[in-house]
Every structure is written in structure tokens, then in C-alpha cells.
Structure 1
Amino acid sequence: MADEKKATLVQMTAPQQTKVATAPDIKIAVPEQVNRSTAISILDRTLGGGLPSGSVVYIFADAKSMAEVFLYQFTQARKTYYFTAERHPKYVMNDIKNYGFKPDNITFVDIYSAYYITAQGEMVDNIGNEFVDAKIVEFTESNLKKITAEGSADINLIFDSFSFYLNLNVNPGAIKRLMNVVYEATKKLNCLSFLYGLKDTHERNLENEILKSCDVIFEVDIEKNSEKISSLLSIPKLRGRVPSSEMLKFKVGEGIQIDTTKDIA
């Protein structure tokens, strides 16, 4: 058996057996991109009609900015698979309702309970457990593959938060693989995926790999002066289009309310 494996390996790696794909050999069906609404009309207008379908969006946010409210409002645009990793879905659902949003479109994928709660309903401390951390990545990938197999295009995939995965005690290659599964699912379904990540929290090289992979970056910051605190949204990356150079001021009220004063002027 060992000799057979060796022979196969030699055959596969021999120069005469190597075939390099050229452009005519590559036939990939790419779904046509359309604009998909974010459910925030002023943001849609800033984006030129909405986000391009098939986009993976990273919400790169100051932890104090309440950027999760963007996620809640995004669920209003279409059917949403909401991966909850750091809180139980019932608390996320309660917050969504408190902002006046309807939960009808939401299907929760409960990563939190799979990680922290036993079958008997008891809390466990799995933080740093390498075996459990690897299994939770596999569990997430399995759910993504099931959603992809359903083939529904006009959906959102929301990860609240992706920082949870970046903090797991796994080989960085496992996170890159998960990111690739998210990316491929988004492209195949021609849907929108939103990954919520906290700034100044993670190992820089891995974080940069994730930012590089994403199609769109929403960067959310807090600006303080002597009189008030302002929340700011910028869009430094918008793959396939010219990103906006404008800083959008917003506040959290009944959802995300973007200041239009400058826009109107």
C-alpha cells in the first residue's frame, strides 16, 4: 500500500503530468450583481442604490459605538440568518423589538448556546478550550453549507459577532477557512453577509487578512469634543465601485438615523 501511495504521488507531481489552467479553461458562472437595500434609505443613496449583491461586509467598529444596531436594521430588508455568538438569541431578539423592528424575517443560528450551554441547560466555561473552539468553527461552517444548499439568493447572513471567532483558541488557518466558507456562500447565493468586528481587539495580521478578504468595510467610530459625542460611519472600501469619501454622522434612536444636514446643504 505504501508503494502504491508513493507511485501515485510521483505520478501526480511529475512535470509531464502538470497542467496549468489558462484563461479559456476557466469557466465560472458568476451571478449578476444587483443593488440590495440595507433598509437605511440614506445609506442606500450614499452607496449608489444599495450594496452590490454577493458582498461580504465587515463592520469595523469602536466597541462603544452601538454598531450592532446597524445589524438589527439590516434584518428589515429581507430574510436573515442571524448567527448569535456572544449573547443568547432571546436577548438579541428583545433588543431588535425594543428598537421597533419586526423579527419576522429572522432565523437565528444559536452559536452561543452550542458553545456555552450544555444539553441540560447549564453554563460551562469553554473559553480557551482548543477542542471545543475547533468544533464550534466546524458547527458554523456546517450551518453555512446547509443555508447555501437551500439556494435562496435574497437573504442576509449576519455574524454577531465575528470577533468571537477571532478570539477562539484555534489555528489561524481555521479562521481563514471559515472566512472562505462565508465568502463562497455569499458569492454562490449572491446575497449579503455582514461580519461585526471590534476595533483594537485582535491580532493585527489575522485581522488584516479578514479585512482584505471582505468586499466592503463600514468603519464606525466615536468622536468626542467638549460638548458632545458623535458617531461616525465611513466606507473606505467598496469593491467594484468608487468608495465614498464622505463621513456620515449618525445617532441611534429608532434605529440608525443618519444626519442629512450636510447632504441637504
Structure 2
Amino acid sequence: MVKRLETGVDVLDRKLGGGIPAGSTIALCARPASQSELFLNELTAMRGSLYISLGRTETAVQESIEASPARTGDPTVRHITGDAPIDNAAKLVSALPEASNLIIDPVDVLEREDYDRYRNFLNEMQNHMSNTGGLAILHCLAGEDIPKGRDTTRYMADVVFDLTTHVGADSVENRLTVPKFRGGRSLNEVVKLELSEEVAIDTSRDIA
């Protein structure tokens, strides 16, 4: 039986049959102004994590994690800059230890690189995660300018989380769908997440 790794969101883990199969790659797709970073922060609480930032500095990411109202871990944060982001990311991934989380935030920078080099990076990353039994989480910004490699990311990912934020007159709702779950059942329902203090399932009312 394939080992499952918990995400840390208890009800979501139950709905996913105990969590995500070890060795999987998750594409977390969300709008830039959503609260998806809170989701990423909480994922660091479950096991040792390498947080590769392709946008914010190491200090900015660490301060965000420390200030997060959700439970978090103490991830190793590395900020990648320069002209060879895929090469630099690949070096960090290759040194990732057993049963660890890998977070790439955002993966958009890599998705804009040469198609063959990005595809090879994903294959090598997935082989490493499979061999070490960890989880890779690729944060995909669903903004106005979608990178050319986004379809490749979603195709190669084992699990796709689509997080959407709906702003009403007096409320903000975060809805999570799981359209793809390789090695398991995708959810046939929309899950409303409460992201104000911690990542949890909002059961106050059903979603039509």
C-alpha cells in the first residue's frame, strides 16, 4: 500500500484518504492576491521543508512564516536569483533529504524558461521526490500573464489544487477544488477553506 503523507489540514487529509501519496508533486494554483501563502506556510509544519523562493527574499519569506497565524515549521529558505534559475533550483533539489517537503514559490519563473529544460527539471525533480518519499509543492500564480509552461506543470503534477478567492459584499471565501489526483480519487466536491487564522475546513454552510 502506498504511504500517505498528511498535508496538515485534518479534514482535507481525511477526504483525500489519509493525505497525499509519498513522492507526489502538487501544483497549487491560485490568484496572486489570494491567501495561498498561508496554505504553503502551514505545509511546513508537517515535516522538514526546503522553501525555494523565486520572488521574495529569504528574509521576507522567513518573516512571513514567523508572523503566520497558522502553525508552521522551521523550513530552510533559499532565494534564487540570476540567469540560471533552473540550474540553481536543480542543485538545491538534488540535495533534499528523505521524506521532506519541497516548496517552489512561485514556479512561474521556471515555467518561463526553455520548454525542454523545464520539462527535464520536472522529470528530475519528480524522480528525486519519488526516491526520497517526500512531497513537492509548486506554487502556480493564476494571474493575467500565465507562463507558457503552465500546462506542462499541471500535466506532470500528480495532484492539482485550484484555490479560488471569492470576494462578496461582506465576506471573503476561499474555495479549493482537486480536479486531478493521480493515484487516488479526485474530490467531487468544492471545499471551502477558512484561511484567516489557520488552514481549516469552513463548515458553517454548504456550498451550492
TM-score when normalising by structure 2: 0.90
Q: Verify: 1:154 aligned to 2:103, yes or no.
A: no
8 Å contact kept, 1:186–1:192: yes
Q: Verify: 1:79 aligned to 2:48, yes or no.
A: yes
Q: Verify: 1:173 aligned to 2:142, yes or no.
A: no
8 Å contact kept, 1:57–1:192: yes
Residues 52-201 of structure 1: pairs in structure 2 closer than 5 A: 52-100=21-69, 105-111=74-80, 114-115=81-82, 132=83, 135-147=84-96, 152-167=97-112, 170-200=113-143, 201=145
The 2-side partners of 1:61 and 1:74 are apart by 16
8 Å contact kept, 1:78–1:105: no
Aligned counterpart, 1:33: 2
Higher RCO structure, 1 or 2 (CA under 8 Å, sep 6+): 2
Let me know the Cα RMSD of the aligned residues. Answer: 1.9
Give the structure with higher Rg (CA).
1
The 1-side partners of 2:150 and 2:71 are apart by 33
1:219-259 Cα deviation digits (max 9, x unpaired): 01122444433111111111011111111112322221320
SS of the residue 2:199 aligns to:
strand
Aligned counterpart, 2:194: 251
- The one-letter code sitting in structure 2 at the alignment partner of 1:233 is L
Structure with more of its chain in helix, by fraction: 1
- The one-letter code sitting in structure 1 at the alignment partner of 2:146 is H
The 1-side partners of 2:175 and 2:168 are apart by 13
Aligned counterpart, 1:125: none
SS of the residue 1:139 aligns to:
helix
The 2-side partners of 1:140 and 1:185 are apart by 13
Aligned counterpart, 1:231: 174
Q: Verify: 1:202 aligned to 2:146, yes or no.
A: yes
The 1-side partners of 2:72 and 2:11 are apart by 22
The verdict on how the C-alpha distance between 1:146 and 1:42 changes in structure 2, with shifts beyond 3 A counting, is same
The 2-side partners of 1:238 and 1:98 are apart by 32
Q: Which runs of 4+ in 1 moved over 4 A?
A: 101-104
The verdict on how the C-alpha distance between 1:171 and 1:84 changes in structure 2, with shifts beyond 3 A counting, is same
SS of the residue 1:39 aligns to:
coil
- The one-letter code sitting in structure 1 at the alignment partner of 2:161 is F
SS of the residue 2:77 aligns to:
strand
Aligned residues: 205
1:193-243 Cα deviation digits (max 9, x unpaired): 100001143245x31111110000000112244443311111111101111
- The one-letter code sitting in structure 1 at the alignment partner of 2:98 is A
